A = this chain, B = another copy of it.
Amino acid sequence: MTYELANYSSLPIALTMGDVAGIGPEIIVKSFMDAPDLMQGTFVVGDVAHMRRATHLMAENYEPKKYLPILEIDHATQAILTPPHCIPVLQAVAVGDDCVPFGGVSARAGSMALQCVAWAAKAALDGIVSAIVTAPLCKESMSISNEALAVFPGHTELLQHIAASYMKVDLQDMPVRMMLANDELRVILVSVHVSLKEAISLVTEDRIFTTIAIAHEALSHQLGRAPKIAVSGLNPHAGENGLFGREEIEIITPACSRAQALGWHVAGPYAPDTVFMRARKLIDNELAFDAVIAMYHDQGLIPVKYDAIDRGVNITLGLPLLRVSPDHGTAFDIAGTASADAGSFIHSVQQVKNIIHKRGKKCYE
């Protein structure tokens, strides 16, 4: 799990355009309008025509009604030299005759989204960009596209495959985990998109230990020191000494002990209904936890989203590249209306810049 990353802070950051039938292009344009300084050094991996449609849309519908010019670039490094209030776009897909309509499943949109992610991942692995921020894509559109990579259901699987091929390792030797983060709380999930019943069966000592290990390594480099990690229990009150479930005793505690034996700052299992609140409350305090390991999707996502859905970002840990994404989907229902909130996308770019700023040259993610 130790990889040399491209992480010079002078390298540009790639923004993949996402599904063009969704809100991706417009939240990118909104980010350039609302946070021009922050967006300096980033560029869009996408399609000039669709990005131009988004700038028109925003110029007509979003205050201040400003038309941001698109600057077509042909190499990532040109992004660094792009003046503010200008959106650099690298044409990463074949130029088409027209734009995909908003709000529906489309094989062409899926294909374009895929190609942008593949281009950006390769650029990150080659050390041409320091990180990628991915606008949302539509799984269904991707799956009906004719691309060879369409077999992968989402960003995470796709990036895992591209990175493992690039590094010439087996997929199973590159385990990844989803981290959700906002200003107050970082949560790393033991499992993601499976039923709750299946999530319980994935609560194994190895899987929890691997999750802790990935979190420990990634956060050590993001923070520049060993992180303090809290591990949540699975059952109410963390099982109350076996009274409401024995997973804490038989599985979670042994996983924590393995991590502690390595000298890592790992504590738990704690009662799920208070561990997030405690980690959050004290996050800038000596007693705080830097992150919480959550046993399943909603255990971790409920607290991250509760206060701050517009500030939550998703960071894929375990990859040999840094990938951050906003914590929302394509929002087909409002695509093309200029009403989507760019907050989470802006926070994603901010997170990337914070992480790049903090870490040294050699990095684990």
Contacts and interface: CB of A to CB of B under 8 A. Distances in A.
A244 B195 contact: yes
Nearest to A329: B237
A197 to B, nearest CB: 6
Contact of A301 (B243, B244, B273, B296): B273
Interface in A150-201: 192-200
Task: Count chain B CB atoms within 10 A of each CB in A239, A246, A303, A309 and give the residue with the most.
Answer: A303
Nearest to A273: B301
Q: How many copies does the complex hold?
A: 2
Interface in A236-271: 236-237, 239-240, 243-247
A193 B236 contact: yes
A274 interface: yes
A87 B277 CA distance: 34
A193 B298 contact: no
Contacts of A235: 195-196
A234 interface: yes
Contacts of A234: 196
A272 interface: yes
A193 B244 contact: yes
Contacts of A198: 244-245
Given A194-B236, A236-B192, A277 B309 contact: yes
Contact of A196 (B192, B245, B277): B245
30 contacts: A193-B236, A193-B237, A193-B240, A193-B244, A194-B236, A194-B245, A195-B235, A195-B239, A195-B245, A195-B246, A196-B235, A196-B236, A197-B200, A197-B245, A198-B244, A199-B236, A236-B296, A236-B297, A236-B298, A272-B301, A273-B297, A273-B301, A274-B309, A276-B306, A277-B305, A277-B309, A280-B306, A299-B302, A302-B306, A303-B303
Interface of A: 192-200, 234-237, 239-240, 243-247, 272-274, 276-277, 280, 296-299, 301-303, 305-307, 309
